[in-house]
């Protein structure tokens, strides 16, 4: 099977643990792909340092350096084209992507969210806010969702979800840690399904074709 080319977008604060899981899975063959670029907003971000240490090509594009957001979109598109990305994976990337990027890569951009969408999702629901909200609401299960990215926050077609229990004595930290373990596995599985050409988007539903 030919390998897909993956570009990963990370944020300024990103730890890069999902990014690392994707890089590792490409290298040990669980994903038929290669991470051809990690694109971040600042050179000293932990995720960027981690990508460089792993020998992956990094690019720094800071939206704040562009007076016009359209110029940032153009630069991002040209970077993605220069590495011939087949799939874009958001891994802790906090911004909403511009319309030209969504249009150019429709159903070829994935994101991971640390809850079961449509619970605890949307603008402002990121990081610890998600797990605090889950515990505060008293849900008995949470989990993670890999979805394709559309014009809005966390609203695109859902590819895979994994459920974890919420324990009575959970704190946001303990719940986040339990979810994160599943994020790494679920993201890798979703990307491999894409690489195998087994994801078919029908409206808001994603059908997973059998082998
Ligand atoms: C993860 O919890 C992911 O679900 C969310 O951002 C976080 C990124 O963590 N979108 P990491 O940088 O991959 O460790």
pLDDT tens, residue by residue, 54-109: 999 999 999 999 999 999 999 999 999 999 999 999 999 988 999 999 999 999 99
- Which of 21, 19, 24, 25 is closest to 37 using CA atoms? 19
Please report the atom of ligand 1 found closest to the CA of residue 20: 13
Distance in angstroms (rounded) separating the CA atoms of residues 114 and 57: 27
Helix or strand or coil: residue 25? helix
Ligand 1 geometric centre to CA of 43 (Å): 18
Q: What is the pTM of this model?
A: 0.97
Quick count: other Cβ atoms within 10 Å of Cβ 141? 11
Q: Give the DSSP letter string of 109-137.
A: EEEEESS-TTSS-STT--THHHHHHHHHH
Token pair 């505060």 in the structure block, residue = 136
Ligand 1 geometric centre to CA of 17 (Å): 7
Please report the atom of ligand 1 found closest to the CA of residue 11: 12
Q: What is the rounded end-to-end Cα distance, in angstroms, of the chain?
A: 13
pLDDT band at residue 14 using 50, 70 and 90 as cut-offs: confident
Above 80 in pLDDT, residue 1? no
Residue 12 has a pLDDT of 86
Distance in angstroms (rounded) separating the CA atoms of residues 60 and 38: 9
Ligand 1 geometric centre to CA of 48 (Å): 14
- Which of 22, 43, 46 is closest to 34 using CA atoms? 22
Distance in angstroms (rounded) separating the CA atoms of residues 97 and 81: 16
Q: Is 113 a catalytic residue?
A: yes
Mean pLDDT of the chain: 96
Torsion-angle region of 193 (φ positive above 0: left; ψ -120 to 50: alpha; else: beta): alpha
Across the chain, how many H-helices and E-strands are there?
A: 6, 9
Q: Please enumerate in sequence order all residues whose Cβ is within 8 A of that of 202, keeping only pairs 6 or more positions apart, or say none.
A: none
Pocket test for ligand 1, best of 10, 11, 18 (most atoms within 8 A of CB): 18
């Amino acid at each position: 099977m030919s390998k897909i080319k993956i570009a990963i977008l990370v944020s300024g604060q990103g730890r890069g643990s999902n990014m690392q899981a994707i890089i590792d899975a490409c290298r040990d063959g669980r994903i038929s792909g290669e991470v051809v670029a990690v694109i971040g907003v600042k050179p000293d971000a932990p995720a960027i340092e981690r990508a460089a240490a792993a020998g992956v090509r990094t690019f720094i594009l800071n939206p704040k350096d562009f007076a016009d957001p359209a110029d940032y979109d153009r630069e991002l598109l040209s970077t993605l084209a220069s590495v011939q990305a087949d799939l874009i994976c958001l891994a802790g990337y906090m911004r909403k992507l511009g319309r030209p990027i969504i249009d150019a890569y429709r159903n070829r951009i994935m994101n991971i969210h640390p809850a079961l969408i449509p619970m605890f999702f949307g603008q402002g629901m990121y990081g610890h806010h998600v797990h605090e909200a889950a515990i505060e609401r008293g849900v008995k299960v949470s989990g993670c969702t890999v979805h394709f990215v559309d014009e809005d926050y966390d609203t695109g077609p859902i590819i895979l979800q994994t459920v974890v229990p919420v324990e009575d004595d959970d704190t946001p930290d303990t719940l986040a840690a339990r979810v994160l373990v599943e994020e790494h596995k679920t993201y890798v599985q979703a990307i491999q399904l894409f690489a195998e050409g087994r994801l078919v988007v029908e409206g808001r539903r994603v059908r997973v074709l059998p082998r």
